[in-house]
Amino acid sequence: MSRIGKQPINIPAGVTVTVKDNTVTVSGPKGSLSQDINPNIEVKAKDGIIFVSRPDDEKQNRAMHGLYRSLIQNMVTGVSEGYKKTLELVGVGYRVSIQGNVLEFALGYTHNIFLSLPSEIKVETKSERNQNPIVNLESCDKQLIGQVCAKIRSFRKPEPYKGKGVKFAGEVIRRKAGKSAGKK
């Protein structure tokens, strides 16, 4: 048995879960999410608990068992609490501004980078004097917010010599010694 797959999922107050035709829909105060489920995996929701089960120990079914349990757990957590990610822009002249649902980045290139955000993501930017600009992203969809953060980070990944670039708040960048360390 999958250790993750056999754990039940508790449904918090204010969250409704419906299972219909291999589709699980989770609605809550932060939004609504749905996920198509493999027909071999069975999902039951009753008495405030969701159970995920598989018919046999075939390799494909074992793989899907824990996956769908984790996806449903992430949906329940997302619609009840939401997910937050914080990105930090480290570098001289690096800036971010927001106009409606479009982020504009100045990351040391000859041109600014524009990123149109999905409507499910709420964004907030903070730029204070003598501090790095910060981008706060919030959404109920864990996969979507992770994908958007990865896209933003890909514009200018942190480099190992000075640590300049877009990084997650609290992320530690492995630093390398420069040229002068090799001379003796």
- Structural domain boundaries in the chain: 9-80, 83-168
Q: How confident is the model at residue 181 (pLDDT cuts 50, 70, 90)?
A: low
The reply to whether domains 9-80 and 83-168 share a CATH topology is yes
Over the stretch 20-45, which tens digit does the pLDDT of each residue have?
A: 988 999 999 999 999 999 999 999 98
- CATH 3.40.50.970 given to domain 9-80: no
CATH of domain 83-168: 3.90.930.12
Is residue 6 predicted with pLDDT exceeding 90? no
Over the stretch 108-138, which tens digit does the pLDDT of each residue have?
A: 999 999 999 999 999 999 999 999 999 999 9
Is residue 167 predicted with pLDDT exceeding 90? yes
Tokens linked to 146: 């992770």
Sheet of 31-36, strand order: 16-20, 23-28, 31-36
- Please report, rounded to a whole number, the percentage of residues in the chain having pLDDT higher than 90: 82
Q: Kindly give the interhelix angle for 142-155 and 59-80, rounded to the nearest 10 degrees.
A: 90
Q: Where are the beta strands (DSSP E) in the chain?
A: 9-10, 16-20, 23-28, 31-36, 42-46, 49-53, 83-90, 95-99, 102-106, 113-116, 122-126, 134-139, 165-168
Is residue 84 predicted with pLDDT exceeding 70? yes
The mean per-residue pLDDT over the stretch 132-149 comes to 96
> What pLDDT, on the 0 to 100 scale, is given for residue 2?
62
